[in-house]
Chain A
Amino acid sequence: MADQNESTPAQEQAAAQDPAAQKNAQLLALLHRLFGADAFTDVEEPYGLLTATTTREQIHGIIEGLQKDEELQLNFLTTMCGMHWPEKKDQELGIVYHLHSLTQNIRLRLKIFFPIADPVAPTLTDLYSAANWMEREAFDFYGIIFPGHPNLMRILNVEDMDYHPMRKEYALEDGTREDKTDLFFGR
């Protein structure tokens, strides 16, 4: 019965108190084992969800590895979306991936950041069919280019739009301004 993998009573107690933290620790160990500790920066657990930042060169390999990993089977791309942080030098644009393993019930959030002057990220459409429209949405809103995407065109906005509206430089106008009255509103 003296199995190396057998957890100590203290560990069991900790797991019983916070199973999410235990799962995150196991997942992080797996990530480090598969891809090396250098691949991830800014590892944290906001509100119990393991979050890590990696690079756009590595992201495709990491997600593919996690999807094919027999133990984890990270087989579900919950969602992905673009982000814009104008004040982060050379890291202005980002993509956030939410992944989920339905067999283990483990969620993982991965992020990549890259300069807005070079808005290119690898496509995941070869791994998940779900990524097709999500990437089109990220392209539409933030102008992120996904080389290899089968049909990278705008999805929610009109084709002839010449900007990417979710970027922070396009601020919404102030709803309380008074110089613009529409007398015929609500007729």
Chain B
Amino acid sequence: MAVNDTLEGTHKIIESAREQQPNLNPLAPTVNDFNQELTTLNLGPTHPATHGIFQNILQMDGERIISGVPTIGYIHRAFEKIAERRPFYQITTLTDRMNYCSSPINNFGWHMTVEKLLGVEVPKRAQYIRVILMELARITDHLICNGILGVDTGAFTGFLYLMDEREKVYEIYEELCGARLTTNMGRVGGMERDLSDVAIAKLRAWLKTFPAVMAEFEKMFNRNRIFMDRVVDVGGISAERALNYGFTGPNLRAAGVDYDVRVMNPYSSYQDFEFEIPVGTKGDTYDRFMVRNEEIWQSLRIITQALENLPEGPYHADAPHFYLPPKQAVYQNMEALIYHFKIVMGEIDAPVGEVYHSVEGGNGELGFYLVSDGGRTPYRLHFRRPCFIYYQAYTEMVVGQTLSDAIVTLSSMNVIAGELDA
């Protein structure tokens, strides 16, 4: 009863503060109704709880947030401009530096965009391998988001549990391409190399042990009194507002809209797999946490299905003009050497056209809008970065709440600064 009263009181405060919200104006009033001076607080740019370099100039009445102005661009690296003079392969390394928590999704999303432009058909085995890796990436993305949410509410143990699992996934990446964070194992037309026996063994071993850890993590948090007090009814957004803001991914699904690119516009054989789209009801921090947890289980389902039904056959398309040949072939085969050179130097022109392709990234719909004028580089490349789209709703979500609520809201939104600024 007491808890409900408190929640109701909180709701009232939030509602009244939202009504009075001075339109996110930096020149908002400096005193409150009792003529007490308001505080301007810089949350960020380099605050440990902002998880990246971006700033929120908050106006506070005591501990309540009255208004806020988000400032971004601190690590803007002009990826869209740089991409205009790079051949398609060299753009791959720009993409995995956007959402670095789930690099393979970004890489494959870009490769699929180029494949669409070039009309390259990817063999089934490569598609399944991509699905496995993209779901692994989604799991690691959600693991770090939910683990950090635990840290922000004062629970460090869960984070340690999950980071251990993330390392194991990184070992699988390492087995495939040598890199751990900025992976680059895809190619236009398929994969750089096949899933090796070692990688499959590591993946199977991980699939056996991970569910127990995940279950334990959920046991620690899902019905934890302290955790729930911190996150239930905090930083909520309605489905209507979320759609108007262009939310996608777990943040939109937490608000109750079951939009998932994997289902609505399937790519890379996602239509072959059975999985569910978890949705929340209120769009608050707790819902976002739970949706991500549930998505991890669904991703595990997809990986298991893909691994069991992994088709035999080639792991890349027979497209020598576009597929970067395997290194061994470059050493031994003259044709491969020539094509390797021509592709790397960007001497093969792309067809004229424009293409939009989107994948379900860790944070939502990650889209690539590519305009080609027939040259070796894109004429224009625009990244639809989910973080950039939904971070502008942040101030609306936290106005009327306390500073500690703002921290957990930010952390549950999973704003990745690399993707935000690009």
Listed in ascending order, the chain A residues whose CB lies under 8 Å from chain B are 46-47, 49, 51, 75-79, 81, 83, 96, 98, 102, 105, 107, 109, 128-130, 132-134, 137, 141, 150-151, 154-158, 165-166, 171-172, 175
Contacts and interface: CB of A to CB of B under 8 A. Distances in A.
B355 A79 contact: no
B80 A166 contact: yes
Given A102-B243, A105-B264, A129-B392, 16 more contacts: A49-B356, A78-B367, A78-B384, A79-B367, A79-B382, A83-B380, A102-B257, A128-B244, A130-B245, A132-B392, A133-B388, A141-B80, A154-B73, A156-B422, A157-B76, A172-B84
Contacts of B356: 47, 49, 98, 107, 109
Nearest to B119: A47
Given A83-B371, A172-B84, A75 B117 contact: no
Contacts of A109: 356
A102 B389 contact: no
A46 B245 contact: no
Interface in B236-262: 241, 243-246, 257, 259
B165 interface: no
Contact of A76 (B24, B117, B243): B243
A51 to B, nearest CB: 7
A79 B422 CA distance: 15
A149 B422 CA distance: 23
Contacts of B319: none
Contact of B23 (A49, A107, A129, A150): A150
B62 interface: no
B246 A76 contact: yes
B367 A98 contact: yes
Contacts of B369: 79, 81, 96, 98
A129 B117 CA distance: 31
A130 B389 contact: yes
B259 A172 contact: no
A75 B116 contact: no
A172 B80 contact: no
A131 to B, nearest CB: 9
B265 to A, nearest CB: 7
A107 to B, nearest CB: 8
A77 B330 CA distance: 45
B335 to A, nearest CB: 26
A154 B243 CA distance: 25
Given A130-B244, A130-B246, A156-B72, A51 B259 contact: no
B393 interface: yes
A165 B353 contact: no
A28 B116 CA distance: 23
Contact of A155 (B24, B72, B246, B264): B72
A166 B84 CA distance: 10
B230 interface: no
A151 B82 CA distance: 27
Contact of B76 (A46, A134, A156, A171): A156
B72 A165 contact: no
A132 B244 CA distance: 11
A134 to B, nearest CB: 8
A102 B264 CA distance: 9
B81 A166 contact: yes
Nearest to A80: B382
B245 A47 contact: no
B116 A47 contact: yes
Contacts of A132: 392
A128 B246 contact: yes
Nearest to B78: A165
Nearest to A168: B84
Given A79-B367, A172-B84, A133 B392 contact: yes
A128 B244 CA distance: 5
Contact of A157 (B73, B82, B367): B73
Contacts of A156: 72-73, 76, 421-422
B259 A102 contact: yes
A130 B385 CA distance: 12
Contacts of A75: 243-244
A172 B392 contact: no
Interface in B3-25: 23-24
B419 interface: no
Nearest to A85: B379
Nearest to B263: A105
A105 B265 contact: yes
Nearest to A132: B392
Contact of A172 (B76, B85, B257): B85
Contact of A47 (B82, B246, B353): B353
B384 A98 contact: yes
B354 interface: yes
Contacts of B354: 46-47, 51
Nearest to B117: A47
B126 to A, nearest CB: 20
Contacts of A165: 78, 81
A122 B244 CA distance: 18
